[in-house]
Amino acid sequence: MTPDTADQLHRLRKEQRRNSVLFCVFAVGSGTALVASLLFEQHLSWLMAITIMVMLMGALLRHRMVQQTRRNIAQWETLMQAQQRQADQQEAWRRMRELLQRDLDEDTFLHTLLDTSAEVLGAERASLWFLDEDRALTCRMSLVDALIGIRLAPNGLDGYLASLTQNPCLVTSDAQHDERLSGLRPYLRENNIHSMLDVGIFVGGELRGAICCESTSPREWHGDEITTLMGFAGLLSQFSESLRRREVEHDLYRQLHHDEVSGLATLRGLLERLQTLTQRDEAFHLLVLRLGGLGHINETLGQQAGDEAIRQVAEKLKERLSELQGSIHVGRLPANRLLIAIPGQTDESLRHYCLERLLSMGENSWRIFGTPSQLRFNAGVARYPRDAQDIESLLQRAELAVQHARETPPPHLAFYTSQLSDWEQRLNRLERELRTALDEHQFRLYLQGQFDSAGRLAGAEVLLRWQHPREGLLAPGSFIAEAEYSGLIRPMGQWVLDQACALLGGALQSSELSLSVNVSVQQLHDDAFMTHLTQLLERHDFAPRRLILEVVESLLVTPGIAARLNALRELGVRLALDDFGTGYSSLRYLQDFRVDEIKIDKVFVDAITPQRDAPLVRSIIALGQALELRVVAEGVENAVQQDYLCARGIDCLQGYYLARPEPVDTFLRRMEEASAG
């Protein structure tokens, strides 16, 4: 029972008790008069007067009880109506919440919201108004068709908009004389509006419009009706946020999976399809097609001409590949290469097809923006599962084959053979040298500072370098892939984590700086990882939140990883998504996995120039703020990028413009000098 219902029942019971007392008085009085008439017959006139008085009291009591009964009935009816309204409102709220969980299009959701609002509130007019850039109100949708598209100029809206901004709702039973609506009086009179219930729609804390219920006759709006419409406005705000996230996610997905120049899939987009083939254990040939002559076109005709050449080649390639049977998958690799997966062919049939239909495209005279141009084609082929059992190795071997094809006489076609495995020999050599590096302590720890928007040092990322005895100081790009392939990434990652925790509990103990450490997929899958980390936290005795473990987004699709990540957060360490926006359906996984930080990949920061906006960067920062996540931008290399990111509320910046990676001793010395200064 609601508090309002309990109060009304209490009042009704109080009235009933009062009426019972009056009725008892009447009964006692009547009895007294009767006894007196029997005992004192000589005083008949006096008794008659008493009797008449008692009868009058009885009549008054009866009249009062009849009136009270009517009032009770009316109150009970009002109470039952309120309870029915609340039941209807709760059911409507449940339905709308269910709709919010579905991927409905915008028009369907808005129309359903208006219909439900009008039905539950018993309103004859319901409409949605949105603010445009000029602060004018436009009716986007309404149950009254004539209102759709009406635009109310910003002049005169100040009082109305101020009221919606300061208060959650605007309620009036005399709209045409309400001072807050003085600028809307022409609209109110024209539409004969007397009563209004308007609730503001807020997105990201900013007023974006209103949901309006109007009546052409005077009426009072009940408190439960006001609360219901406010709830619906909140759902609409959530839907708008969700819709905006879906749009950003779609843009991110398309940018990462679709090449705008060629119209083909990117390597990331194509990998998903190739994984499907390997899961079905279906044999196929993976072909890397290299385009020669693009550099000359770019130098002589410009970058747009080079893009046009790639576009024409992609169109011609799709046309010729349609001659083959089966599902052919085509994508674009970085620079001047294309990737093709062709199932259902023998080596001989594919060789013949490549010579006759693919490599022969180089004999054509290509016209780029009207200028005759020459293109050359080289092809390298690797076979699944014969040459490799995973896509990465298969691609490496196809790349090796195309490199060999470039160095041989025409027709510039090569199939992978074991004799071409220079990369395997390099891998074996590197693996041996990495084991030696671990044993002989050749690895070095470097730190790259992270700064807040005011330029203060807030933390650092821990980076690994290899002091190679012959080749000098090597960056991770020279050996990490081989370390992962060989499994040595586990002991290497453990060493880095040991050193970082020792710093946090030692030289950095008195500071508030945090350290970010990259953690590989193999480390997280290692059952001993959690135990080792727990021991490190206990041994070095620092606040666990100062340690940030960075994981790549591709890790999130790994089965069972959610439990691992949750266990890490239970230890108190923070989690960050590295290279955010380049992984697998980033926004969806932010809803499923709890993280504390997202790092914007350098590829998005590079898009920031004096002449160009970076809408994806803006969207990622806004998303992080909405989800209350710390947002760090990587790869900041100039003042333009720094100013742009700070103006949009970035939390931390990292990049060569602010600080280069440096040895731990150098980093600590600079900290001491800054403190002394």
DSSP letters of 169-211? EEEES-GGG-GGGGGGHHHHHHTT--EEEEEEEEETTEEEEEE
Kindly give, in sequence order, each residue whose CB lies less than 8 Å from that of residue 256, ignoring residues fewer than 6 positions away.
266, 268, 269, 581, 582
In 601-639, the DSSP E strands lie at 630-633
Q: Which amino acid is at 628?
A: E
Kindly give, in sequence order, each residue whose CB lies less than 8 Å from that of residue 115, ignoring residues fewer than 6 positions away.
126, 143
Tally of CB atoms within 10 A around 436: 11
What does the block give as tokens for 648?
Answer: 């949009």
Distance CA 606, CA 611 (A): 12
Element (H, E) at 232: helix 223-257
Expressed in angstroms, the distance from the first to the final Cα of the chain is 68
User: What is the C-alpha R_g of the chain?
Assistant: 38
- In CATH terms, the superfamily for domain 427-676 is EAL domain (3.20.20.450)
Give the start-to-end residue ranges of the domains of the chain. 3-100, 106-252, 265-420, 427-676
pLDDT tens, position by position, 81-111: 556 666 665 666 666 666 666 666 677 777 8
pLDDT tens, position by position, 23-32: 556 555 555 6
CATH number of 265-420: 3.30.70.270
Distance CA 37, CA 640 (A): 109
pLDDT at 69: 61
Pick the CATH number of 106-252 from 1.20.1600.10, 3.30.360.10, 3.30.450.40, 3.30.450.20: 3.30.450.40
Long-range CB contacts for residues 72-76, cutoff 8 Å, separation at least 24: 72/12, 72/15, 75/8, 75/11, 75/12, 76/12
Element (H, E) at 645: helix 639-647
Tokens 């009058």 identify what position? 56
Distance CA 151, CA 146 (A): 12
Can you give 26-79 as a three-state secondary structure string? Answer: HHHHHHHHHHHHHHCHHHHHHHHHHHHHHHHHHHHHHHHHHHHHHHHHHHHHHH
What does the block give as tokens for 471?
Answer: 């080749």
Q: Is 332 helix (H, G, I), strand (E, B) or coil?
A: strand
pLDDT at 652: 95
Q: In the chain, which residues have pLDDT < 70?
A: 1-52, 54-55, 58-59, 61-63, 65-105, 204, 239-253, 299, 407, 421, 423-424, 427, 553-560, 581-592, 677
Does residue 473 contact residue 496 with C-beta atoms inside 8 Å? no
pLDDT at 23: 55
Distance CA 37, CA 47 (A): 6
Which of 184, 250, 238, 231 is closest to 86 using CA atoms?
Answer: 231
